[in-house]
Structure 1
Protein backbone atom coordinates (compact mmCIF):
# COMPACT_ATOMS: atom_id res chain seq x y z
CA UNK A 1 0.00 0.00 0.00
CA UNK A 2 1.12 3.55 -0.74
CA UNK A 3 1.11 5.91 2.23
CA UNK A 4 2.70 9.12 3.47
CA UNK A 5 6.25 8.79 4.79
CA UNK A 6 6.82 8.75 8.57
CA UNK A 7 10.06 9.53 10.38
CA UNK A 8 10.07 5.93 11.63
CA UNK A 9 10.62 4.88 7.99
CA UNK A 10 14.11 6.43 7.94
CA UNK A 11 16.05 3.21 8.57
CA UNK A 12 14.15 1.25 5.92
CA UNK A 13 14.55 4.09 3.42
CA UNK A 14 18.27 4.41 4.20
CA UNK A 15 18.69 0.66 3.72
CA UNK A 16 16.99 0.78 0.30
CA UNK A 17 18.91 3.87 -0.77
CA UNK A 18 22.28 2.59 0.42
CA UNK A 19 21.99 -0.48 -1.80
CA UNK A 20 21.96 1.93 -4.74
CA UNK A 21 24.79 4.03 -3.28
CA UNK A 22 27.05 1.01 -2.85
CA UNK A 23 26.11 -1.09 -5.88
CA UNK A 24 24.83 1.16 -8.66
CA UNK A 25 25.16 4.46 -10.48
CA UNK A 26 21.48 5.33 -10.05
CA UNK A 27 22.55 7.83 -7.40
CA UNK A 28 25.66 9.94 -7.43
CA UNK A 29 26.10 9.66 -3.66
CA UNK A 30 29.26 7.66 -3.07
CA UNK A 31 29.03 7.02 0.69
CA UNK A 32 26.15 5.28 2.50
CA UNK A 33 23.69 7.55 4.30
CA UNK A 34 23.23 7.00 8.02
CA UNK A 35 19.72 6.68 9.48
CA UNK A 36 19.92 10.06 11.25
CA UNK A 37 20.92 11.83 8.01
CA UNK A 38 18.02 10.12 6.22
CA UNK A 39 15.65 11.24 8.98
CA UNK A 40 16.86 14.83 8.42
CA UNK A 41 16.34 14.51 4.67
CA UNK A 42 12.84 13.10 5.17
CA UNK A 43 11.94 15.93 7.56
CA UNK A 44 13.19 18.63 5.20
CA UNK A 45 11.56 17.23 2.08
CA UNK A 46 8.24 16.01 3.52
CA UNK A 47 7.62 19.31 5.33
CA UNK A 48 7.15 21.02 1.94
CA UNK A 49 6.67 18.35 -0.73
CA UNK A 50 4.90 15.03 -1.32
CA UNK A 51 6.79 11.98 -0.01
CA UNK A 52 5.37 8.45 -0.15
CA UNK A 53 6.42 4.92 0.75
CA UNK A 54 5.15 1.57 -0.41
CA UNK A 55 4.54 -0.79 2.49
CA UNK A 56 4.13 -4.53 1.99
CA UNK A 57 3.62 -6.87 4.95
CA UNK A 58 4.61 -4.04 7.33
CA UNK A 59 7.92 -3.56 5.49
CA UNK A 60 8.93 -0.53 3.37
CA UNK A 61 9.91 -1.81 -0.08
CA UNK A 62 9.96 1.46 -2.02
CA UNK A 63 9.63 5.20 -1.75
CA UNK A 64 9.32 8.32 -3.86
CA UNK A 65 9.23 12.04 -3.35
CA UNK A 66 9.37 15.37 -5.13
CA UNK A 67 11.72 18.18 -4.19
CA UNK A 68 13.03 21.52 -5.37
CA UNK A 69 14.49 21.30 -8.86
CA UNK A 70 16.22 24.70 -8.84
CA UNK A 71 16.42 27.31 -6.10
CA UNK A 72 15.30 30.45 -7.96
CA UNK A 73 11.75 31.69 -7.39
CA UNK A 74 10.71 31.40 -11.03
CA UNK A 75 11.23 27.62 -10.80
CA UNK A 76 8.78 27.24 -7.89
CA UNK A 77 6.20 25.33 -9.97
CA UNK A 78 8.73 22.71 -11.14
CA UNK A 79 9.89 19.80 -8.99
CA UNK A 80 12.39 16.98 -9.39
CA UNK A 81 11.18 13.45 -8.68
CA UNK A 82 12.96 10.55 -7.03
CA UNK A 83 11.89 6.91 -6.77
CA UNK A 84 13.72 3.85 -5.38
CA UNK A 85 12.65 0.24 -4.81
CA UNK A 86 14.32 -2.44 -2.73
CA UNK A 87 15.94 -5.28 -4.62
CA UNK A 88 13.48 -8.05 -5.31
CA UNK A 89 10.58 -5.60 -5.63
CA UNK A 90 11.30 -4.17 -9.06
CA UNK A 91 9.17 -5.08 -12.06
CA UNK A 92 6.04 -5.59 -9.95
CA UNK A 93 4.31 -2.25 -10.62
CA UNK A 94 5.28 -0.73 -7.26
CA UNK A 95 7.28 2.08 -8.87
CA UNK A 96 4.32 2.89 -11.09
CA UNK A 97 1.91 3.04 -8.13
CA UNK A 98 4.28 5.26 -6.16
CA UNK A 99 4.90 7.60 -9.07
CA UNK A 100 1.20 7.84 -9.98
CA UNK A 101 0.45 8.90 -6.39
CA UNK A 102 3.32 11.41 -6.51
CA UNK A 103 2.23 12.87 -9.85
CA UNK A 104 -1.33 13.28 -8.64
CA UNK A 105 -0.19 14.97 -5.41
CA UNK A 106 2.02 17.36 -7.39
CA UNK A 107 -0.84 18.15 -9.76
CA UNK A 108 -3.22 18.77 -6.84
CA UNK A 109 -0.65 21.07 -5.23
CA UNK A 110 -0.48 23.26 -8.33
CA UNK A 111 2.87 22.26 -9.78
CA UNK A 112 3.34 22.61 -13.53
CA UNK A 113 6.30 20.38 -14.42
CA UNK A 114 8.16 17.38 -13.00
CA UNK A 115 11.75 16.56 -13.89
CA UNK A 116 13.39 13.14 -13.52
CA UNK A 117 17.19 13.02 -13.76
CA UNK A 118 18.21 9.48 -14.73
CA UNK A 119 21.70 8.07 -15.11
CA UNK A 120 22.33 6.76 -18.62
CA UNK A 121 21.85 3.02 -18.77
CA UNK A 122 19.11 2.85 -16.12
CA UNK A 123 16.65 1.31 -18.56
CA UNK A 124 14.09 0.32 -15.91
CA UNK A 125 13.78 3.94 -14.79
CA UNK A 126 13.66 5.19 -18.39
CA UNK A 127 10.83 2.78 -19.18
CA UNK A 128 8.93 3.64 -16.00
CA UNK A 129 9.05 7.35 -16.68
CA UNK A 130 8.18 7.01 -20.37
CA UNK A 131 5.14 4.87 -19.48
CA UNK A 132 4.03 7.61 -17.10
CA UNK A 133 4.19 10.19 -19.89
CA UNK A 134 7.59 11.75 -19.20
CA UNK A 135 9.50 12.85 -22.31
CA UNK A 136 13.27 13.04 -22.68
CA UNK A 137 14.30 16.69 -22.86
CA UNK A 138 18.07 16.69 -22.37
CA UNK A 139 21.24 14.67 -22.03
CA UNK A 140 24.28 15.81 -20.10
CA UNK A 141 27.55 14.09 -20.98
CA UNK A 142 30.05 12.97 -18.34
CA UNK A 143 28.58 14.99 -15.47
CA UNK A 144 29.25 12.39 -12.77
CA UNK A 145 32.18 10.18 -11.87
CA UNK A 146 31.44 7.04 -9.86
CA UNK A 147 33.23 3.69 -9.72
CA UNK A 148 35.97 5.22 -11.92
CA UNK A 149 33.43 5.71 -14.71
CA UNK A 150 32.17 8.94 -16.28
CA UNK A 151 28.38 9.02 -16.34
CA UNK A 152 25.80 10.80 -18.45
CA UNK A 153 22.46 12.01 -17.11
CA UNK A 154 19.25 12.11 -19.11
CA UNK A 155 16.48 14.48 -18.02
CA UNK A 156 12.84 13.59 -18.51
CA UNK A 157 9.97 16.04 -18.09
CA UNK A 158 6.28 15.61 -17.41
CA UNK A 159 4.09 18.66 -17.94
CA UNK A 160 1.11 18.86 -15.60
CA UNK A 161 -1.92 21.01 -16.24
CA UNK A 162 -0.76 24.50 -15.27
CA UNK A 163 -2.79 26.26 -12.61
CA UNK A 164 -0.83 29.53 -12.69
CA UNK A 165 -0.05 32.19 -15.24
Structure 2
Protein backbone atom coordinates (compact mmCIF):
# COMPACT_ATOMS: atom_id res chain seq x y z
CA UNK A 1 0.00 0.00 0.00
CA UNK A 2 1.35 3.41 -0.98
CA UNK A 3 0.40 6.21 1.43
CA UNK A 4 1.04 9.93 1.16
CA UNK A 5 0.53 12.52 3.88
CA UNK A 6 -0.73 15.96 2.87
CA UNK A 7 -2.67 18.90 4.25
CA UNK A 8 -6.40 18.28 4.36
CA UNK A 9 -8.49 20.13 1.79
CA UNK A 10 -12.13 21.18 1.69
CA UNK A 11 -12.89 18.27 -0.64
CA UNK A 12 -11.68 15.83 2.05
CA UNK A 13 -14.23 16.89 4.66
CA UNK A 14 -16.90 14.32 3.80
CA UNK A 15 -14.41 11.46 4.21
CA UNK A 16 -12.87 13.06 7.31
CA UNK A 17 -16.36 13.22 8.85
CA UNK A 18 -16.94 9.57 7.97
CA UNK A 19 -13.64 8.56 9.61
CA UNK A 20 -14.48 10.44 12.84
CA UNK A 21 -17.96 8.89 12.83
CA UNK A 22 -16.56 5.36 12.47
CA UNK A 23 -15.02 5.79 15.94
CA UNK A 24 -18.26 6.74 17.69
CA UNK A 25 -20.09 3.38 17.96
CA UNK A 26 -17.03 1.76 19.57
CA UNK A 27 -17.35 4.37 22.29
CA UNK A 28 -13.68 4.51 23.19
CA UNK A 29 -12.26 7.21 20.93
CA UNK A 30 -14.90 9.91 20.49
CA UNK A 31 -16.65 10.68 23.76
CA UNK A 32 -19.95 11.47 22.12
CA UNK A 33 -22.96 9.45 21.11
CA UNK A 34 -23.89 11.90 18.33
CA UNK A 35 -22.49 11.57 14.83
CA UNK A 36 -20.53 14.53 13.49
CA UNK A 37 -21.84 16.53 10.54
CA UNK A 38 -19.79 17.75 7.60
CA UNK A 39 -20.63 21.34 8.65
CA UNK A 40 -19.26 20.65 12.14
CA UNK A 41 -16.04 19.20 10.69
CA UNK A 42 -15.83 22.22 8.33
CA UNK A 43 -15.90 24.59 11.32
CA UNK A 44 -13.29 22.45 13.09
CA UNK A 45 -11.03 22.39 10.01
CA UNK A 46 -11.36 26.14 9.43
CA UNK A 47 -10.56 26.81 13.09
CA UNK A 48 -7.45 24.68 13.01
CA UNK A 49 -6.19 26.22 9.77
CA UNK A 50 -6.91 29.77 11.00
CA UNK A 51 -4.92 29.11 14.19
CA UNK A 52 -1.92 27.72 12.29
CA UNK A 53 -2.54 24.19 13.49
CA UNK A 54 -2.29 21.36 10.98
CA UNK A 55 -4.92 18.98 9.70
CA UNK A 56 -3.21 16.19 7.80
CA UNK A 57 -4.74 13.36 5.84
CA UNK A 58 -3.25 10.01 4.88
CA UNK A 59 -4.09 9.19 1.28
CA UNK A 60 -3.88 5.72 -0.25
CA UNK A 61 -2.42 6.36 -3.71
CA UNK A 62 -1.97 2.88 -5.15
CA UNK A 63 -5.50 2.64 -6.57
CA UNK A 64 -7.01 4.35 -9.56
CA UNK A 65 -8.52 7.09 -7.36
CA UNK A 66 -6.59 8.40 -4.33
CA UNK A 67 -8.53 7.67 -1.13
CA UNK A 68 -8.33 9.43 2.24
CA UNK A 69 -7.78 6.74 4.88
CA UNK A 70 -6.75 8.76 7.92
CA UNK A 71 -6.79 12.18 9.52
CA UNK A 72 -4.68 13.77 12.24
CA UNK A 73 -4.40 17.15 13.88
CA UNK A 74 -3.25 18.89 16.99
CA UNK A 75 -4.60 21.89 18.78
CA UNK A 76 -4.14 23.93 21.88
CA UNK A 77 -4.22 22.12 25.19
CA UNK A 78 -6.96 23.63 27.36
CA UNK A 79 -9.20 26.48 26.34
CA UNK A 80 -8.34 30.05 25.47
CA UNK A 81 -8.44 31.28 29.08
CA UNK A 82 -5.36 29.15 29.82
CA UNK A 83 -3.68 29.41 26.42
CA UNK A 84 -0.70 31.51 27.53
CA UNK A 85 0.39 29.07 30.24
CA UNK A 86 0.00 26.06 27.95
CA UNK A 87 1.27 27.64 24.72
CA UNK A 88 4.09 25.10 24.39
CA UNK A 89 1.79 22.10 24.88
CA UNK A 90 -0.51 20.59 22.26
CA UNK A 91 -3.06 17.79 22.24
CA UNK A 92 -3.35 15.62 19.16
CA UNK A 93 -5.80 13.22 17.61
CA UNK A 94 -5.32 10.53 14.97
CA UNK A 95 -8.16 8.62 13.34
CA UNK A 96 -8.02 5.91 10.68
CA UNK A 97 -10.61 4.49 8.36
CA UNK A 98 -11.40 0.89 9.33
CA UNK A 99 -9.76 -0.25 6.07
CA UNK A 100 -6.46 1.37 7.06
CA UNK A 101 -5.81 -0.34 10.41
CA UNK A 102 -2.33 -1.89 10.38
CA UNK A 103 -1.31 -0.03 7.21
CA UNK A 104 1.30 2.22 8.82
CA UNK A 105 -0.79 5.32 8.12
CA UNK A 106 -1.04 6.20 11.82
CA UNK A 107 2.75 6.30 12.17
CA UNK A 108 3.08 8.45 9.05
CA UNK A 109 0.45 10.86 10.37
CA UNK A 110 2.15 11.02 13.76
CA UNK A 111 5.53 11.66 12.12
CA UNK A 112 4.00 14.62 10.28
CA UNK A 113 2.27 15.97 13.41
CA UNK A 114 5.36 15.71 15.58
CA UNK A 115 7.57 17.34 12.93
CA UNK A 116 5.09 20.18 12.51
CA UNK A 117 4.83 20.66 16.28
CA UNK A 118 8.61 20.76 16.71
CA UNK A 119 8.88 23.35 13.95
CA UNK A 120 6.10 25.38 15.63
CA UNK A 121 7.98 25.40 18.96
CA UNK A 122 5.75 22.94 20.77
CA UNK A 123 7.56 21.19 23.60
CA UNK A 124 4.99 18.66 24.88
CA UNK A 125 2.61 16.64 22.75
CA UNK A 126 -0.29 15.08 24.65
CA UNK A 127 -2.50 12.17 23.77
CA UNK A 128 -5.78 11.87 25.67
CA UNK A 129 -7.08 8.32 25.36
CA UNK A 130 -10.02 6.33 26.68
CA UNK A 131 -8.74 3.83 29.25
CA UNK A 132 -10.31 0.92 27.35
CA UNK A 133 -8.57 1.83 24.09
CA UNK A 134 -5.60 -0.49 24.59
CA UNK A 135 -4.50 -0.40 20.92
CA UNK A 136 -4.11 3.39 21.11
CA UNK A 137 -2.29 3.20 24.45
CA UNK A 138 0.14 0.58 23.02
CA UNK A 139 0.60 2.60 19.82
CA UNK A 140 1.55 5.74 21.76
CA UNK A 141 3.82 3.82 24.15
CA UNK A 142 5.63 2.29 21.16
CA UNK A 143 6.22 5.83 19.87
CA UNK A 144 7.76 6.93 23.19
CA UNK A 145 4.72 8.48 24.87
CA UNK A 146 4.60 7.99 28.63
CA UNK A 147 1.43 7.69 30.67
CA UNK A 148 1.42 10.67 33.01
CA UNK A 149 -2.13 10.63 34.28
CA UNK A 150 -5.30 8.57 34.58
CA UNK A 151 -8.59 10.11 35.61
CA UNK A 152 -11.04 7.36 36.53
CA UNK A 153 -14.70 7.58 35.54
CA UNK A 154 -14.69 11.21 34.35
CA UNK A 155 -16.64 10.54 31.15
CA UNK A 156 -19.86 8.71 30.42
CA UNK A 157 -21.02 7.44 27.03
CA UNK A 158 -22.99 4.43 25.83
CA UNK A 159 -24.02 3.57 29.42
CA UNK A 160 -20.42 3.22 30.56
CA UNK A 161 -18.13 5.32 32.74
CA UNK A 162 -14.90 6.21 30.92
CA UNK A 163 -11.37 6.61 32.26
CA UNK A 164 -9.27 9.39 30.74
CA UNK A 165 -5.62 8.46 30.14
CA UNK A 166 -3.05 11.19 29.46
CA UNK A 167 0.15 10.25 27.66
CA UNK A 168 2.84 12.72 26.69
CA UNK A 169 5.91 12.98 24.54
CA UNK A 170 8.65 15.55 25.14
CA UNK A 171 9.47 16.90 21.69
CA UNK A 172 12.74 18.33 22.97
CA UNK A 173 12.09 21.98 22.21
CA UNK A 174 14.12 24.27 24.45
CA UNK A 175 13.12 27.87 24.99
CA UNK A 176 15.63 30.63 24.48
CA UNK A 177 14.18 33.24 26.81
- In our comparison, the structure showing a higher alpha carbon Rg is 2
Please tell me whether the aligned partners of residues 22 and 31 of structure 1 are also in contact (alpha carbons under 8 angstroms).
Answer: no
> Structure 1 residue 94: deviation in Å?
0.9
Does 1:151 pair with 2:162?
yes
- Where structure 2 has 5 or more consecutive residues not aligned to the other structure, the ranges are none
Offset from partner CA, 1:104-129 (integer Å, 9 cap, x none): 11001111101100001212111211
Partner of 1:82: 93
- Where structure 1 has 5 or more consecutive residues not aligned to the other structure, the ranges are none
Does 1:141 pair with 2:152?
yes
- Structure 2 CA distance, aligned partners of 1:25 and 1:143? 13
Offset from partner CA, 1:114-157 (integer Å, 9 cap, x none): 11000012121112111211100000000111110001011000
37, 42, 56: which is aligned to 2:40? 37
- Structure 1 CA distance, aligned partners of 2:20 and 2:67? 15
57, 62, 70: which is aligned to 1:62? 70
- Structure 1 CA distance, aligned partners of 2:78 and 2:170? 16
How is 1:106-117 mapped onto 2 (pairs within 5 angstroms)?
A: 106-117=117-128
> Structure 1 residue 88: deviation in Å?
2.1
- Structure 2 CA distance, aligned partners of 1:66 and 1:32? 21
Q: Between Structure 1 and Structure 2, how many residues are aligned?
A: 165
- Structure 2 CA distance, aligned partners of 1:55 and 1:152? 32
4+ residue runs over 6 A deviation: none
Partner of 2:54: 50
TM-score, normalising length from structure 2? 0.89
Please tell me whether the aligned partners of residues 22 and 32 of structure 1 are also in contact (alpha carbons under 8 angstroms).
Answer: no
Please tell me whether the aligned partners of residues 111 and 163 of structure 1 are also in contact (alpha carbons under 8 angstroms).
Answer: no
Q: CA RMSD in A?
A: 1.1
- Structure 1 CA distance, aligned partners of 2:77 and 2:96? 22
Between 1:111-120 and 1:15-24, the stretch displaced more is: 15-24
113, 122, 128: which is aligned to 2:139? 128
- Structure 1 CA distance, aligned partners of 2:110 and 2:72? 7
- Structure 2 CA distance, aligned partners of 1:51 and 1:88? 20
